[in-house]
Amino acid sequence: MENFSEKIQSLRNEYSDLDLTSEDLNQDPITQFTKWLDEAIETQIYEPNAMVLATVDENAPRSRYVLFKNIVNNNLIFHTHYESPKAVEIFANPNVSGIFYWAEIHRQVRFQGIARKADSQISDEYFKTRPRGGQLSALASAQSNIISSREDVTNKIDELEKEYEGKEIPRPDFWGGFAIEVNYWEFWQGRRNRTHDRFCYKPEENSWKIERMSP
């Protein structure tokens, strides 16, 4: 059997010859982000809105994937259980960072910012768009808590389905959105021979300063 270390070290994927120049970038990072995300959607990348979200728990970082769902007032919106570990960590320390990675088009977007509980109207409006099964699971799941089996959740969903049969399912107070006000952006375009193009946006007075970074 091949040595696992050698197997990992031998992994090689070459990137494209696509360029990313300062002239290609919009002065507004939100506009640049939505342009790239739209191109990822058009490329039919699986879950292009999946983003890694990193939070801090007593100075120890923790990361997981969440689904980005909207931009409101230039803030990135995602939704979760307000009693989940990620939410508890955000309430204690609102500094977060995140990454979108679209391997098929050799692009990455990294950001840092401050996360706050989203306005209840944003959470209510999104909850109404969720499939009924997703609404029921939000009510049934005490996210990240230890359970004995999947049936702990599915049985609760069955109970709730009977309770709300023929009725609108209300958004529970313990579930809703977070809004991330981004204060740092980084756009990365993969290139051959690791000569990647990489730019960061930093706030400067009432605008953004764009700088090229070494790959």
| Catalytic residue list | 194
Coil, strand or helix at 117: strand
The three-class DSSP label of residue 131 is coil
Best CA proximity match to 113, nearest among 162, 60, 27, 186: 186
User: Residue 12 burial by CB count (10 A; 0-12/13-18/19+): exposed, middle or buried?
Assistant: exposed
Q: Within 13 Å and on the Cβ side, how many CA atoms surround 144?
A: 10
Q: Are 87 and 80 in contact (CB under 8 A)?
A: yes
For 81: left if phi > 0, alpha if psi spans -120 to 50, otherwise beta; the answer is beta
